[in-house]
Structure 1
């Protein structure tokens, strides 16, 4: 029996699978659009809506079932990791799940547990640490908090996506020992102990083969060795082949409409490049994802996004993430007679959330200068 799936849900998945036509199966293996998975109305199989994260729910109209608008922007990954607080990470995951439910989002695209390998990595703020243990512990509890509330996680970017320069085609050369001890360790912990509903395959090539079509990475390690039961989804436009990717273990091509699936996959199945059992395994994993999302698919609730409790959580994470707020016991050599501290440079008013897929249009922001004044 699959973890986090009832016997009734398993029966539903197998019933769906037995009733699907080949074209319907193929349609489920690529996105319907940028933010959703295809539905099969004939069988009552609904769509699944995904949204960017992980430090907030991207509330644009396309990635949610309600009108766009500002949402809570929580401290970024590097901030929550700086707290060294597992319980806070779990509370953050739970809070994000509640907001996802209010917005009609089924899967939040996070957490990012890529290792901070390069100090120039443009998305280092989004992930947790250069320490695989810390990244694994914080990411694990974030996932547990999120999925306990009925929203799926998408642990990313699997694996070796630790720099932004040439990330679409860079070839990451790394030994198996270093991979297992450092780069794969956070993923392994989360998969074995939380069974995330999805894992996102990275853009990069790993030892010569794109992660999205790397059979050693996706099939041998993730699915067979670690026992991953969920769906492997590509990073957006990270799919590079039809048969090779599906045979390697990439279940869902995103976004849609399909570039490498669709009629290309139909041809690959017809010419025996993709065995029927491989196709059915991928379809089953997508159906499991849909079945897991079904209980939470209620009409978006018109709730107040900006609540006292959510502000308090964001503030507490920020407070615990600060390395030094008060100079107690003269930790810094600043005389007690000093009454003013100069804050110099652009960083006094720098942005407090990074760009790219983790950007969230926050309800409010407190700059470093404002925070120091209030402290």
Structure 2
């Protein structure tokens, strides 16, 4: 294979090549001016740039440069608007180049396997087709400005707890159909120039050194020609990673990564030809993106225009969930009482590595409501964030509620409820907020709840309120966007990117999430989110794809041919509105189990009052396929398929059948041997059934009784070393303190979930792998021997 930068690579020594494969520091790659190789800067930025002004750190503990804080991916996904996603991508890139950023680390498109994942606010959807289409749009926008996008985290990364010390045990069909399809769309349609591997193992092999994922799927099948970067601290065996398809280890690990690669080349475990190929692929992106940043670095982006775009995005992403007796939109002059701390201190973005320093002061409801057509007669705080109910605040709120025609309660999840590094343990909103809503409904019947949260919540008060409007995490312009929806200046068009179950216990992964020990077993297989609820006909609070409007729509005249579906949508209401039509496909088979329906396309259609439009949603290579483990490829089963068009995953408005001449007549599964997978009753899959699906022995993920270098710090509790137990105890105390304060301590969370070898990957060479091994010995109770080895390793550190 010829190399694009062969002349440069031939001039470099083995050590210099090895240095290029690890970061120079937290955010930059190594530069070699003598060879014309510039440094490349990477930055977090799924919903806004986090380019740190001073010393870099991956957790965002140090200040970052001002940037537009757009709504998070979980918000934007509710728009189902690919063009809007592309606009966001362009804006992100316009800001990135002014800050000298070559690679934006995003978008995030992990599947929302469970509503409890603490990082769901960063991800698009519970459906891979939906997530992939939105991600590809972001990527096209970002890369149109000459820099690179970096979709993450590849793949099967579904929990934050022990995220670096977790093995995703998942059968190949589920892995391909659910957990890699979104990335496939991002790579094939978005043409992503880079991709970030996830922290976890996939079937016993770390994602960052998994040749099946990085070579066979990513390169050989999808044609990816960019570079793979580890998540920060996620590199395990760097040389093995390079051999199997990874490129860049981040952040810099001092000389550790260099030694690993040089030694691997010298002992024959890694050929220099493969190293040269990886370097050439990395250099292609470094040099290709350098011109864009050099031309505009230090210039300014249009702060006002991007703020207006952030407002537009937030408006399209708002979801109207309940509108009893058409209480919304509120007419001009409506006397309202505003209740809720979120109205004065908004929850507009998530916490963790995606935290943005907003370019403009974030809007808040109390600051914007004076510019609306509403008359605010009172405001009360109502509750304290992350605290028990306050009787005084509650009584004041009740008195204020009596003065108004309508009460607007601003509530949702607070900062400690969802964060990187921390999974939720339940789906409840803080109890003080639930109690407040209940109490207010006893003194005023016209209560509208306005939610801010990055993922699903239970709503025990649903029946008692007249309106529910969800803004998710709406970014810096979210307050004015929400008021525009409440007052009817904007007709809501958002539809949910995830199912809202009645209760947390209803979720299909309730018995499998999160992993109890090391293995996270995906026993639910394909039955994630709506795929489960629709198959077993489980009642939910709101289905995937659900959202109301201030107008109404009628679907008719379904026509199906081999190219796709065509149908009519008519706006039967009195105002202009936008509908999101969804195409689902299903098939009953005795040899291939499937959910009753799966999303295969969607269309966003804007209609004037009384207007009709013809809508076409095309079929593509993903419409009828399933992954056949007999042939290790995609196949299409011959037979009749049900073609369904609906307004959400539960409401099919137009249906018909289509016969498809496939590539195989039947699948490999035997219905009588795994009935649970054919009927969707997957909440108690036994070992024999899962083993049959998995196709191999189920790994024993239980703690061995001995701490290993790849065990997380939170597992030191099980070790014999007193220092390890003390360290674990201190972290637990610090986590309790942060919980009490209501703000996640990201540094503590990172340490809590990090494996011991992570200290050799995250300290810039201050801790070496030899030192990490000595620390592991000490954690296992070998205090004297471990201390001696630690001293020796420290002395020889270079």
2:363 corresponds to: 366
Q: Deviations over 1:21-55 (max 9, x none)?
A: 21111111110100011111221111101111110
- The answer on 1:156 being equivalent to 2:152 is yes
2:381 corresponds to: none
1:200 corresponds to: 196
Q: Does structure 2 conserve the Cα–Cα contact (< 8 Å) formed by 1:35 and 1:62?
A: no
Q: Does structure 2 conserve the Cα–Cα contact (< 8 Å) formed by 1:203 and 1:238?
A: yes
- The answer on 1:92 being equivalent to 2:88 is yes
- The answer on 1:45 being equivalent to 2:42 is no
Q: Is there any run of 5+ residues in structure 2 with no aligned partner, and where?
A: 57-62, 369-478, 488-798
Structure 1 CA distance, aligned partners of 2:146 and 2:269? 37
Compared CA separation, residues 334 and 263, structure 1 to 2 (3 A): closer
Q: Deviations over 1:88-130 (max 9, x none)?
A: 1001000111111111111111111111112111111111111
1:265 corresponds to: 261
- Specify the SS of the correspondent of 1:196: coil
- Residues 226-245 of structure 1: pairs in structure 2 closer than 5 A: 226-245=222-241
Structure 2 CA distance, aligned partners of 1:262 and 1:130? 39
Shift of 1:283: 0.9
- The answer on 1:191 being equivalent to 2:187 is yes
Structure 2 CA distance, aligned partners of 1:264 and 1:146? 34
1:30 corresponds to: 22
Structure 1 CA distance, aligned partners of 2:162 and 2:144? 36
Determine which structure has the larger helix proportion and give its number. Answer: 1
- Residues 252-291 of structure 1: pairs in structure 2 closer than 5 A: 252-258=248-254, 260-291=256-287
Structure 1 CA distance, aligned partners of 2:270 and 2:292? 33
- Residues 298-317 of structure 1: pairs in structure 2 closer than 5 A: 298=294, 300-305=296-301, 307-317=303-313
1:221 corresponds to: 217
1:141 corresponds to: 137
- Specify the SS of the correspondent of 1:294: helix
2:450 corresponds to: none
TM-score, normalised by the number of residues in structure 1:
0.89
Q: Deviations over 1:144-200 (max 9, x none)?
A: 010011111111000011211111111111111111111101100111123211110
Shift of 1:212: 1.1
1:123 corresponds to: 119
Higher mean C-alpha displacement, 39-48 vs 316-325? 316-325
- Which structure has the larger Rg? 2
Q: Does structure 2 conserve the Cα–Cα contact (< 8 Å) formed by 1:173 and 1:207?
A: yes
Structure 1 CA distance, aligned partners of 2:329 and 2:294? 56
Determine which structure has the larger strand proportion and give its number. Answer: 2
Shift of 1:78: 0.8
**Which of 1 and 2 has higher RCO (CA within 8 Å, sep 6+)?**
1
The alignment covers a number of residue pairs equal to 364
- Specify the SS of the correspondent of 2:49: coil
RMSD: 2.7
Structure 2 CA distance, aligned partners of 1:313 and 1:113? 22
Structure 1 CA distance, aligned partners of 2:55 and 2:68? 16
Q: Does structure 1 conserve the Cα–Cα contact (< 8 Å) formed by 2:140 and 2:191?
A: no
Q: Does structure 1 conserve the Cα–Cα contact (< 8 Å) formed by 2:107 and 2:151?
A: yes
Shift of 1:344: 4.6
TM-score, normalised by the number of residues in structure 2:
0.43
Structure 1 CA distance, aligned partners of 2:264 and 2:332? 76
Higher mean C-alpha displacement, 27-36 vs 264-273? 264-273
2:71 corresponds to: 75
1:107 corresponds to: 103
- Specify the SS of the correspondent of 1:264: helix
